[in-house]
Amino acid sequence: MRMSRSYKIISIVAAIALFLLIENLFFRNDADFRYTGIQIYDAVRDFKSLEAKGFDVIVKVDGTRNGKSFEVEGSITETYGGWFLLEKDDRGYIVEGPMGSKDVLASSISFAITPQIVVEAVYPPESGSSFSFRSGFTKFKGSIAFDGAEISPTLLQELRNANNEFYSITPNRVEVRDFGSGFILDVKVPVSISELDKILKETKSTRIQTGYLYYYGEAGDEKELEKIRQSLESGGAVLVNYYEQR
């Protein structure tokens, strides 16, 4: 009897393992970035990789909420190993796999990604009395020191609150530190230039020093990519990398 019971347990475990293996091999379409709810760990991993390369990702989730069918599409603002926070119209939904206990239990997850090709350019450190972002790009990361800055407590809080406005896959990815009579803005993953620019336009500084700044834009095809490369080199920058969706 003991042998029979042990054999049944082993058979069940083996069957589950085989099911998960078959699902990953045959039911997942990496090219389309579609996942079953069980594959939420894969979805989180791929999202982190895409966001870190400068892609914009809109996530659609089909599943259940409070025991009823539910569908939601929005932006991920927090990620952990087996779940993520999805925001839609200023409302957050905690999404987990089908066997979880969070707000939304996903049966399927899919990504809509733009652009097709992301270009990553780096500009050397610079200093001066003012700062403006390079045109032609949508995102950036790097460090900027604003010395002698006229910055109000409200503006400083807005910068610190920026962590809630961008993806939080890296803790304190938009970090603000005191620096002389000003502050240092340290952006650790690509974030929207337009969002930061709105805040920084209110900052007045007598001296600005940057580290190497990385900028992210898009290219439609290889010909456009080559034009971008040449344009960057003529302007003292370098095209350090480019990323395709796959």
Residue type, 229: R
Q: How far apart are CA 127 and CA 55, in angstroms?
A: 29
Question: Which conformational region is residue 172 in: left (phi greater than 0), alpha (psi within -120 to 50 degrees), or beta?
Answer: left
Instruction: Give this prediction's pTM.
Output: 0.75
Q: How far apart are CA 219 and CA 241, in angstroms?
A: 12
Q: Among 75, 114, 109, which Cα is nearest to 92's?
A: 75
- Structure confidence at residue 9 (pLDDT): 46
> For the segment 84-134, what is each residue's pLDDT rounded down to a tens digit?
999 888 888 999 999 888 889 999 999 999 998 999 999 999 998 888 899
Domain boundaries in the chain? 27-114, 117-244
Q: The CATH number of 27-114 is which of 3.30.70.100, 2.30.30.690, 3.40.50.450, 2.60.40.10?
A: 2.30.30.690
- Structure confidence at residue 78 (pLDDT): 81
Is the CB of residue 184 less than 8 Å from the CB of residue 177?
yes
> For the segment 143-154, what is each residue's pLDDT rounded down to a tens digit?
999 888 766 677
Strand partners, 81: none
Q: Among 104, 34, 101, which Cα is nearest to 71's?
A: 104
| Structure-token match 């989180």, residue found | 44
Q: What Rg, from alpha-carbon coordinates, does the chain have?
A: 23
